[in-house]
Amino acid sequence: MRRGGQFIPIVVVAALLVLLAVALLDFITPSDVDFGEFYMLPVIAVAWWAGRRAGLAFAAAAAAVEFGVDAALRAGVTSSESAIAAWNGLSDFMVLAALAIITDVVYRERERWRTTDAERTALLRMLERELPRPLRAADWFARTFEDAIGGKSTSSAVRAQFATLRHHTQEAVFLVTDLLAVGRMRATGTSFHRGPVDLRTVVTEAVSESLDRSRVLVSTAQDGLVVLADADRLRHAVASVIARFLERTPYEPVSILVRGSDDEAAVEMSCRALGLDPGELELAELLVAGNGGRLVLLPEGPRGTTVTIYLARASATDALRSPTSEPAPRT
């Protein structure tokens, strides 16, 4: 674990100087004066900044120096007293080694809690941006459905409205579940039920659920792009990126290109809008990573801002598999 970075050599040199200074004071003072606590200071500093191994090495060095000083002060004494000095040196090493280990454990626990707090803060920030979107969309589609009931609607239109409402409700459930997962600090995180899905179908569904879908233009370079992913989570990621673009500008269209290569498929979304902040794509990036893919943001280009989602194409063997549940990566 890299902790102090470029400061580690400085800390080690400073600790070594402190150790030599303590050893000198211990040597020139009477043997009745105990300097054991002062030998602990450089060991704690090195274990905190450089890690457990460096701390144990410095504990051994400090114990050896303290033993050397003690042996020098006991020069010319009987062998029994020399054995006592050796035992004291071994005891000092055990105490200093335990102190180095405890210091390292405290540091790791501190970093673990800081990481957990950062994850919770990032998720709350994502919820602040993302949670209103499916709820507003669900309300809009519910009102549209009520209007359709009052007019001349076909059964297929009603089913489409119900399917869209269900998808947005599921997005809200995902967000709440993620919040509970981080709030309870569950080690498993959030599960993804991955299986073979048609990428164009997922993108089409995400576009159809947009509040201003007339401004979203979809094209595909080829059909039959099957990827191994959680369809609901992947649709949520695409819809989140589309929503970010639509919020940036009230007029510019959002262009989506679904394309693929031999082993990878991509969803390329672009808009001549102001550049997106990477923090606005945290949720989409998390959902894409959970599906085994990656999200790339290009702030400026010929077509404006571009966000591309890359996913591995499903093999013939994957197409026969049932969906599997996998934990999301921790961020």
| Better-scored residue on pLDDT, 211 or 81 | 211
Beta bridge partners of 286: none
Residue 188's pLDDT is what? 46
Residue 1's pLDDT is what? 46
Report the alpha-carbon distance of residue 243 to residue 241 in Å, rounded: 5
Q: Cβ(304)–Cβ(311) under 8 Å?
A: no
Residue 267's pLDDT is what? 93
Most confident among 132-136, 152-156, 174-178, 212-216 (mean pLDDT): 212-216
Average pLDDT over all residues of the chain = 77
Average pLDDT over residues 35-44: 81
Phi/psi region, residue 224 (left: phi>0; alpha: psi -120 to 50; beta: rest), is left
One-letter amino acid at 204 equals T
Residue 145's pLDDT is what? 66
Average pLDDT over residues 71-81: 57
Residue 186's pLDDT is what? 44
Average pLDDT over residues 189-201: 82
Phi/psi region, residue 308 (left: phi>0; alpha: psi -120 to 50; beta: rest), is beta
Q: Is the pLDDT of residue 268 over 90?
A: yes
Average pLDDT over residues 15-24: 84
H/E/C letters for each residue in the chain?
Answer: CCCCHHHHHHHHHHHHHHHHHHHHHHHHCCCCCCCHHHHHHHHHHHHHHHCHHHHHHHHHHHHHHHHHHHHHHCCCCCHHHHHHHHHHHHHHHHHHHHHHHHHHHHHHHHHHHHHHHHHHHHHHHHHHHHCHHHHHHHHHHHHHHHHHHHCCCCHHHHHHHHHHHHHHHHHHHHHHHHHHHHHCCCCCCCEEEEEEEEHHHHHHHHHHCCCCHHHEEEEECCCCCEEEECHHHHHHHHHHHHHHHHHHCCCCCEEEEEEECCCEEEEEEEECCCCCCHHHHHHHHHHHHHCCCEEEEECCCCCCEEEEEEEEECCHHHHCCCCEEEECCCC
Chain centroid to CA 317: how far? 30
Average pLDDT over residues 244-263: 87
Residue 199's pLDDT is what? 92
Q: What percent of the chain has pLDDT over 90?
A: 11
Residue 147's pLDDT is what? 64
Residue 65's pLDDT is what? 82
Report the alpha-carbon distance of residue 310 to residue 241 in Å, rounded: 14
Q: Is the pTM of this model over 0.85?
A: no
Average pLDDT over residues 230-243: 89
Q: Is the pLDDT of residue 96 over 90?
A: no
Residue 269's pLDDT is what? 92
Residue 74's pLDDT is what? 57
Q: What percent of the chain has pLDDT over 70?
A: 68
| Better-scored residue on pLDDT, 65 or 154 | 65
Residue 9's pLDDT is what? 83
